[in-house]
Structure 1
Amino acid sequence: MLRRKWLLTWFAGAVICLFWSFISSLGTGGSLNRLESSLQDLIMKKTDVQRVPYDDIKIIKIDQDSLDQLGQFPWDRSLYAQLITLLADAGARAVALDVVLAEPGQDPQGDAAMTEVMKQYPNVVLPVVINFKARQDEVNGLLTESVSYPASTIGSSHEQQGHINVLQDKDGTVRKLTVGLANQEGLIIPAFSVKLANYMLDKDEQITWNQDDGHWYRGLKRLPTDSRNQIATEFYTQPREAMSLVTGYDSQSFFDVLSGNIPPEYYENSIVLIGPYAPGLQDEYLTPLSTSLKMYGVEIHANMVQSLVAGNFYTKTGPPVTYTLIILLTLFSLLLFERFTGVGSFIVYGVLTAAFFGIWIGFYYMNTFIAFTYPFLALTTAFIWAVVTHYVMERRERSRVTNIFGRFVPRTVVDEMLASGEDVKVGGQRRDISVIFVDIRGFTPMSEKLEPEQVIQVLNEYLDICTKAVFKWNGTLDKFIGDGVMAIFGAPVDQPNHPELAVRAALEMKRQSADLEERCLREIGVPVRFGVGINSGPAVVGNIGSQMLRLDYTAIGDTVNLSARLEANAKPGQILISEETLARVSGLFETVTIGEIKVKGKELPVLVTEVVRERDEDSAKNLTAIKEGREGA
């Protein structure tokens, strides 16, 4: 049985592991993966104290005020050339224009001005846009269809170009920086932010692409990019930070800088990003910081630059680690759930959940993301399976015990005990009870005349009559003693009228055995009849015996002994009751006083009375009245 239980447990563990491992392998979409992403967003979110944007990263906003002053898009490119010249001459470390210039401008003079700027200032970066194929054949790859470079009329070199693609997750949120993307020929184009970050990093810390091994490096340290060349980016500002009370990246209006309201020297030795900062320009994205308020693309690039310079990169473990976590957590939890049941299993589940969450946070502080959702769901599934299994097994065991106990106690008594919620305690309790002993008179002569099989048949019929009578009057069958029976009334469930019930059960035996006595007399010539003894009073009732090996529910004490002595003195067909029992059933039955008799174990004679019949009342009516009284109570 135990071996079968453990086989079932390990089988369930294998099914749980396979199921959640399979679900976790289906891809990056779905609500469960969004939940995983939301947890990462939550733990990466910084407080106002932690969010400290770099002072030397500045933004020049193409905002609504600039549009009102300079006109709607597209602007003449000479405006960009004029502003970039002011910034570069003032000593800006690098200037990045986050405006796509893929087509020649309407005014050739504007393009010519930009061409001169690009030649004179190599620290100017222009955007490249990668256009992906609508159908991606590779699960994790990114296939390029075309590339939108700056117009040839501008004449920027490859060293002055960086892609500005901001890739969103399935839920439309930007969480990752795509360090580099390949063009149609497979050559890698670094990100806009990579180009700018290198202007802030020392020479030995530069971010580079190693064509030989196909990996990105920051100095000699390999970046933990995924198969799409992406890494998790941190955000140091809130969306539209300038609208809040918290300071974000230093940002000024394009028109204010161009018109001289902000002196160009203000940007000396700074990284300057110029980009759209107005809702109508459609350059906004959701970030992990808000599910509703979007962040402008130019500010996302600024955050990516700082994330690259800070070098606090996070590694996301792959499927093998996730599968391992699922297996370990499932099997270990099932092992514990088999050891601890009931409230203990809930405590174990809580401890395991808290411990796993703590481990998850611990890995985060080591710049590593391990999967949380799928291992946690595997743990929860194992917990639910264990609880349901324990419940089913307990119900099955309860049913089995109830059925076994129901052979000794009437079903009504069993139901009443279960409904009361009281435990049948190991050991003994002092209870007021009535004890009935029944023995077959003439059993030995009968055994000598019949075959063993016939003796067993007759004995079973007599014992069946006794058992049914005891159960009918809500007694507890204590034990069979050879050809005799011991029964208890008033335990394990209290019965205030237990003496009456015991006497009625004895009369029931006497009535029901009449046909069997007549048949035995006719067939074997031996009158086989009952002798009954009943006594009432205090006794120790409970589970008595060896706690490790065997326990019997029984009663011990002088009350029990006297009942057995009365049965030994009863003649065939005679029901003898003690003086104590007589006092409690007085007026209910017709009785005949036998007188005082000497019994073994008693120094003084005891007064004995024989019960003849009920006193002018129908047994069925009495039975109904007693049952109604018990149900009413």
Structure 2
Amino acid sequence: MKVTPKLSSSRWRLYVLWAACATLFSLFLWNLGFRWGELVDSAAHDAGFNMRRPLAPSAVAEKLPRSSDIVIVELPREITRPLLAELVTHLSQARAVALDLMLADRASLLSEGELPIFQDKGLLTRWKQEDKILADAMKKAGNVVVGSWPDLAPGGKTIGWTNSAPLFEKAARARAHLKVIADQEDGFVRRLRLWEERDKVTKKTKAPPPIPAVALQMVALATGKTAQQVAAPTAERELWVNYMGPDTVFKWQRVVFANALDLWDAKDFKGKLVFVGQTDFRSRDVSATPYGEMPGLFVHVNATATLLDQRGVPQRLSVWWVVALSLGAALLLVVPLARWTFLICAIVTAFEIGALWLVIAMLWERWNIVAPFSVPALAVLLTYNGVALYEYARARRTLGNVVGSTMLDRLLAVGADPRLGGTEAVATAFFCDLRGFSAWSQTRTPQQLITDLNAYTTTIVRIVESHGGRPIDFFGDGVFVLFEDEGHASRGIKAAINVSETLEKERQPHLRAGVALHTGPMVIGLVGHKHHFKPGAVGDAVNIASRVQSLSDECGFAVLATRQTLESARQDKDVTDSNYNPTFCGARVLKGYTEEFDIFGFKPIEVEKVRKLTAHV
């Protein structure tokens, strides 16, 4: 595994600061309630249920709190009120009986044209008699929790949860709502509203009391408390339902209507919490849960079991713990980010997010704690991406300082890994060094020397870049610059004169810059090893320029150029010999060559002429 060098304390602080900012930003987005966050949190929440899937249904059922106290009586799709009254009487010894039924006023289902017909047949009178039979049975049993399930008639007319004479409400032990609300994001029922505001009956009722959910009322009766004592209306009104499994886990506690009357004695229901309702999947009362489709009756049973859990009801993880979890996960990623490559860190990030998913699921499965997954996961992703982008920008900036911004753009534009070699082009090579530098350096300390050299090279780079030159290499007091593209020779001469003039004004009087230029074909690209290379230019033109530089003292000019450079510069329409004041220094034989080269010298012109000469560049 490749290990990076030790980080400075400032970069450590920067990474930690970014992790903290990523955590706060993730928490801010979570508080805004974005849809993606809720979907991610719900999926992580459901992972707790997925842990139970390999278990046998009986093993899951045994985990159901007080499961032996819960019995489900399944009704057929159609049942008369007298038969239902007989069942209620049979369940009189149960601790509580919940009727998950829409006990609507059947007359409200009829249209105005149908009312006279049913009235003539005596059906309306019979319905009222049947309602009274059921109401009397409920009142006598004294343990019935009647469910409220508002609905709409086919014509859009509101169906009351009870008939016009509130027989069932008066006869029941308690009233409860059966409203099951699915999440808007994916349609799954994960929470149940414990309290529901009752519809206003009269305009005089300004603040009607809330109606408890059937699960809340059943637990209140089972524990001998009031619904307000089990869950106060002012507290959070939603319960995270801890589903213990699919509906198959209830098969040994489920009994059909006929068997409840014929095979179960009344004493068999003593002390039980009995839920009566339809479990037919063809009915409208079917909800989507993390365990799949489930009748609404089973949702209420699971909610009741959740409230009866000795561990207490599921609680949301506090905001401070969310911050601690998210910040801890982000800071944990800082260590590998500071020491390992980003490819390895990407793998570590994926594993850390998976571990967070498992932690969230375990909190729910083992400790009844509902924690958001989106906040720590987003904090980890933002930390990774933020540090990666910072390091990319830092590496690009550093590499640009080494090879030059122009060459860096060319390297990155290739798309693939850069290759050694280059392209052949005609360009102007520019070499510059300090005359008298060796003797002068003996009077300076190493620290003073490096400071002066950096100032010297900074001045040269600033000038040549203003003329379109590209620094290629630095060696001691020498600088190698390349001028490419149109007008390269004229721009090189202008830059050389500008460098000579500027250094004479800014540096020691006894230090003089010697500049040499030559124009010719060369290969411009990358030189070195495939794993260690640098930009460069190779060719006879480069060697000639470096040889010409050694003639500076001999010729007595600060700037020297070959005839090839001068003729190339003359092709520029804005350039004439009067611009440069070239002086022919004669034909010279350079070291390593047999042929002669015509050398021209350029005396620095006045400041105003230099400014005028370079103003259009």
- TM-score, scaled to structure 1: 0.55
SS in 2 for 1:167: coil
How do 1:224-623 residues align onto structure 2 when only pairs under 5 Å count? 227-239=235-247, 241=248, 248=251, 250-258=253-261, 260=262, 267-290=269-292, 294-312=293-311, 313-319=313-319, 321-322=321-322, 325-326=325-326, 329-330=329-330, 333=333, 337-338=337-338, 342-343=342-343, 345-346=345-346, 349-350=349-350, 352-353=352-353, 356-357=356-357, 359-361=359-361, 363-364=363-364, 365-403=366-404, 419=418, 453=504, 457=512, 460-462=514-516, 519-520=555-556, 575=591, 612=594
Q: Residue 94 of structure 1 contacts residue 272 of structure 1 at CA under 8 Å; is this kept in 2?
A: yes
AA matched with 1:195: Q
CA distance in 2: counterparts of 1:158 and 1:116, whole angstroms: 9
Residue 86 of structure 2 corresponds to residue 82 of structure 1: yes
Whole-angstrom CA distance in 2 between matches of 1:379 and 1:158 = 54
SS at match of 2:146: strand
Unaligned runs of 5+ in 2: 1-7, 108-123, 153-157, 201-206, 421-432, 439-500, 532-537, 561-587, 597-617
Q: Aligned to 2:60, which of 23, 46, 51? A: 51
SS at 1:95 equivalent: strand
1:164 paired to 2:157: no
| Identical aligned residues as a percent | 20
CA-based RMSD:
5.2
Amino acid at match of 1:253: V
Rounded Cα–Cα distance in structure 1 between residues aligned with 2:550 and 2:168:
122
The answer to whether structure 1 residue 42 and structure 2 residue 61 are counterparts is no
Whichever residue aligns with residue 399 of structure 2, its letter is R
Rounded Cα–Cα distance in structure 2 between residues aligned with 1:298 and 1:96: 10
CA contact (8 A) 2:73 2:254 kept: yes
Partner of 1:540: none
Pick closer, same or farther for the CA change 1:262–1:612 going to 2, 3 Å.
same
SS at 1:59 equivalent: strand
**Structure 1 counterpart of 2:41, which letter?**
E
**What CA distance in whole angstroms lies between the structure 2 residues aligned with 1:404 and 1:278?**
72
- Residue 187 (structure 1) aligned with residue 188 (structure 2): no
Q: Is the 8 A contact 2:26 2:375 kept in 1?
A: yes
Aligned residues of 1:94 and 1:124 also touching (Cα < 8 A): yes
What does residue 103 of structure 1 align with? 105
> Which residue of 2 is the match for residue 177 of structure 1?
192
SS in 2 for 1:25: helix
Q: Which amino acid aligns with 1:402?
A: V
Q: Which runs of 5+ in 1 are unaligned?
A: 133-144, 218-224, 422-438, 445-450, 477-489, 495-500, 528-571, 577-610, 615-633
Distance 2:396 2:380 in 1: 24
**Alpha-carbon separation, structure 1, partners of 2:29 and 2:84:** 51
User: Any idea what SS the aligned residue of 1:174 has?
Assistant: coil
1:117 equivalent in alignment to 2:147: no
Deviations 1:202-232 (A, max 9, x none): x5xx46414xxxx727xxxxxxx99542221
One-letter amino acid of the structure 1 residue matched with residue 396 of structure 2 = R
Residue 58 of structure 2 corresponds to residue 62 of structure 1? no
Query: Is 1:127 the counterpart of 2:147 in the alignment?
Result: yes
Instruction: Give the whole-Å Cα distance in 2 for the aligned partners of 1:14 and 1:440.
Output: 51
Query: What residue in structure 2 maps to residue 26 of structure 1?
Result: 32
Q: 1:399 to 1:16 in 2, by over 3 A?
A: same
Q: Letter of the aligned partner of 1:460 in structure 2?
A: G
Q: CA deviation at 1:80?
A: 1.0
Cα distance, 1:182 vs. partner? 4.2
Distance in 2 of aligned mates of 1:157 and 1:505: 107
How far apart, CA to CA, are the structure 2 residues paired with 1:475 and 1:114? Answer: 96
Would you say the 8 A contact 2:139–2:172 is kept in 1?
A: no
| 1:575 Cα deviation after fit | 4.5
Q: Secondary structure at the match of 2:390?
A: helix
Q: CA deviation at 1:34?
A: 1.9
Q: Structure 1 613/358 Cα, relative in aligned 2: closer, same or farther at 3 Å?
A: same
Distance 1:25 1:3 in 2: 33
User: Amino acid of the residue matched to residue 73 of structure 2?
Assistant: I
Contact residue 139 and residue 173 of structure 2 kept, 8 A: no
1:190 Cα deviation from its structure 2 partner: 2.9
2:178–2:213 CA contact under 8 A, matched in 1: yes
Contact 2:143 2:172 (8 Å CA) reproduced: no
The separation in 1 between residues aligned to 2:374 and 2:434, in whole angstroms, is: 71
Which protein is bigger by CA-based radius of gyration? 1
> SS of 1:461's equivalent?
strand
Residues 443, 267 of structure 1: alpha-carbon distance in 2 compared, 3 angstrom cutoff: closer
Residue 373 (structure 1) shift: 0.6
**Structure 1 residue 61: Cα displacement:** 1.8
Give, in angstroms, the shift of residue 352 of structure 1: 4.5
Distance 1:303 1:111 in 2: 30
- Which amino acid counterpart does residue 191 of structure 1 have in structure 2? A
The whole-number CA distance in structure 2 between the counterparts of 1:508 and 1:388 is: 42
The answer (yes or no) to whether the contact 1:130–1:147 under 8 Å persists in 2 is yes
Q: CA 1:21/1:62 → structure 2, altered by over 3 Å: closer, same or farther?
A: same
Change in CA separation of 1:419 and 1:38 when aligned onto 2, cut-off 3 Å: closer
Contact map agreement 2:97 2:275 (CA 8 A) in 1: yes
Give the TM-score of the pair, scaled to structure 2: 0.56
CA gap of 1:226–1:161, structure 2 versus 1, over 3 A, is closer
Instruction: For CA contacts below 8 A with separation 6 or more, give which structure has more relative contact order.
Output: 2
Task: Call closer, same or farther: CA 1:250–1:121 in 2, change over 3 Å.
Answer: same
Q: Is the 8 A contact 1:122 1:160 kept in 2?
A: no
User: How far, CA to CA, are the matches of 1:161 and 1:351 in structure 2?
Assistant: 50
Q: What's the CA shift for 1:99?
A: 1.3
Q: Quick one: structure 1 residues 336 and 279, their matched pair in 2 at CA, closer, same or farther if it must change by over 3 Å?
A: closer
Q: 1:22 to 1:249 in 2, by over 3 A?
A: farther
Q: CA deviation at 1:295?
A: 1.2
Asked if the contact 2:363–2:369 (Cα under 8 Å) also holds between the matched residues in 1, the reply is yes
Kept in 1: contact 2:239–2:303 (CA 8 A): no
**Cα distance in structure 2, aligned partners of 1:442 and 1:394:** 37
Aligned-residue offset at 1:119: 2.7
Deviations 1:251-273 (A, max 9, x none): 33334545x36665654553322
**Deviation (angstroms), 1:371:** 1.6
SS of 1:278's equivalent in the other structure is: coil
Whether the aligned pair in 2 keeps the contact of 1:57 and 1:249 (CA below 8 Å) is no
Deviations 1:385-420 (A, max 9, x none): 2112212221222222224999xxxx99xx9xx846
